Amino acid sequence: MLYGHEQQSANIKRTRVTSYLRLFLFFFIEAGFIILAAVCLAKPVPLNLPLRFSDSEVKGGFTVVFIVWHSLAIMTGGQLLADAFSREWSVQLANIVPGTTDRVSTVTSGFLDRIFYLFTKRASAAFKLAFLASLSFMALTQLAPGTISAATTLVDIPIMVNVGTLVSQITDLSTFLTSQTRAALIVRLEMIERSPFGLKLPPNTLVTLPSAGLGEFDGTMEYDSDVVEFHHSCHWEAPSIANASSIQELVVLAANQVWSTTLTVGPQGTPGSSISPLSLLTPQIMENVSTSAYLFIGGNSTFPNSRTTPTTPFAIDLGNLPALFLSQGIGVIAGSDIDLIAPLASVLVCDPQAKITGGRISISSGGTVSIIASGQPPIGNFPQSAANLILSNAFQVALVQLEPLELSNLVNNVASALFMANASGDWNKAQNISPLDIPTLNENVDMFMSSAAKAFLDGYRKDGTSVSPTFDTNAVSGMGQEQRLALTTSKGLFITTIVVDAIALALLYALCRSALTQKRYPFDLMSVFHVLSEDNGRRASQFIPTQPRG
């Protein structure tokens, strides 16, 4: 019945192996859960379950699964705690207090018993480790099962996205004009009325877009597209006028290009200022040039309106900007009855410095377009010629549309907001208003271009006399989202579970090291007989109560 030395050594060895095995099992079970939680945190895992299961049944089922999962881990690690509590009676045999030291080692000892014993001087380090580990197990039981749950969430699914096929070659000027007219409407809506239209592009960026009939969708939508990045760099030039003797063939020479507009030269016009877009002569040139140019007609302090007495300033003050001076006057014609001239003409030339790369586009359900990636080789759905046509022609109609009662000066609300320092002035009475400085002009042209370009990016077409537009689109593979049942992870509980698991694992390891390096016996008959056999007289007296229990 008594312990022999060999039997004791065998029991210690067996206990050591069993303890570390339980520690490994606890680690293995909890590590598996943390790995699964990390996967579900990075990306929800869809549950492709039979339709006969309701959502509540699925959610309840997985709740039970994760409770059982952690119960297995705690049951495995709990054996280490039970063993540590069971051996506490043998820590200080010389000072054992019946009913106290032995009580925390019994199966019937409760949580309060261990708390009271913890704060006594008799509590060993191993007992304290075991008690702290039991607290971590309690926290794990309450928190960990809720880390992963079955919930209705947005799950990525492959989809086909119909994005606009861009016009890269003008075959019908009237069709292209409808897109320019649409651009004018969008610019007025967004830049003048301050009301958003369609999708919101990122600054200084153009991409192919789904058609305006995209409708509502959940989550986000992703697809591949070329990305056009632009940052306008504007400067002023003094233009040259070619064929000035023939009104029908007047052209403007600036930025090493030939531009056309409704230009007039001669004293027959009415003194007045104007801002008008310049257009490249042929569609073929437009496809190869991304630069845009704008003609400003006005005067300065040296060249005021001499037809009034006394002389009065022109509405647009070109100041010391590079300008062409024509004493007989230069101007533009609007409609059949407005012919305004002034002595000075200057051209604002804006180079978008466009760069096209391949990228990945994301559109949120709120309509915000984001660039996930760019800088890759172009994929070819945004040709350079298409970018040039947009960047050089987006404002053609927006800047020439007349405002009601616009008679004295040809500066509409769009031109005023885009180029001029006093955007809210009455241009029928305006005098000495200067253009904005170059940095502000660069920013404004970028901002207005992002608005006007929307008219071209979704494949908008309107042919013939039809009142209903169509959209020329091309299907590309993409990624969408839809509502599905999936396993998801709560980030807060995930972090908490990792911390609690780490604490529990560290305590269990320390407990194993502490318990197996001390002379501690489990609370069983074999251990009691062994202790009694070492010193029958002295040890036996320690188990006799000094006072009978009442």
Radius of gyration of the chain (CA): 42
417 and 341 in one domain? yes
Quick check: is 158 in a domain? no
**Do the domain assignments include residue 157?**
no
Mean pLDDT of 276-302: 92
The answer to the question of residue 28 being in a domain is yes
**Distance in Å from the first CA to the final CA of the chain:** 34
Strand partners, 333: 339
546 pLDDT band, cuts 50/70/90, is very low
Full residue range of the structural domain in which residue 439 is found: 233-351+395-452
Co-location of 443 and 521 in the same domain: no
Q: Give the SS3 label for residue 139.
A: helix
Per residue in 255-271, pLDDT (tens digit) is 999 998 888 887 778 89
CA diameter of the chain: 136
Closest CA to 408 of 342, 496, 355, 498: 342
Domain assignment present for residue 367? The answer is no
In a domain, residue 89? The reply is yes
In the predicted model, is pLDDT for residue 245 greater than 60? Answer: no
Residue 437: is its pLDDT beyond 60?
A: yes
Check if the beta carbon of residue 101 is closer than 8 Å to that of residue 127.
Answer: no
Q: Which residue has the tokens 């043998």?
A: 90
Are residues 38 and 139 part of one domain? Answer: yes
Tell me which of 227 and 486 has the higher pLDDT: 227
Q: Look at residue 408 and tell me whether its pLDDT is greater than 90.
A: no
Number of structural domains (the chain) is 2
DSSP letter for each residue of 235-252: EEE--EEESTT-GGG-EE
DSSP string, 281-330: SSHHHHTT---EEEEEEEB-SSS-BTTSSS-B--SBB-TTS--EEEEEEE
Are 335 and 436 contained in the same domain? yes
Q: Is residue 201 part of a domain?
A: no
- The predicted model scores a pTM of 0.70
In whole numbers, what is the pLDDT of the chain averaged over residues? 83
What is the distance of C-alpha 433 from the center of its chain?
Answer: 42
Q: Is residue 358 part of a domain?
A: no
pLDDT greater than 70 at residue 244: no
pLDDT of residue 2: 44
What is the model's pLDDT at position 224? Answer: 93
Task: Write out pLDDT tens, residues 94-144.
Answer: 566 666 666 666 666 777 777 777 777 777 777 788 888 888 898 988 889
As a whole number of angstroms, the distance between CA 386 and CA 167 comes to 6
Whether 444 and 496 share a structural domain: no
Q: How confident is the model at residue 9 (pLDDT cuts 50, 70, 90)?
A: low
What's residue 222's pLDDT? 92
Question: What pLDDT score was predicted for residue 80?
Answer: 80
Cα 172 to Cα 179: distance, rounded to the nearest angstrom: 12
Q: Are residues 510 and 412 located together in one domain of the fold?
A: no
- Joined tokens for residue 386: 């298409």
Task: Please state, for a pLDDT cut of 70, what percent of the chain lies above it.
Answer: 83
In a domain? residue 361: no
Lowest mean pLDDT among 241-245, 342-346, 543-547: 543-547
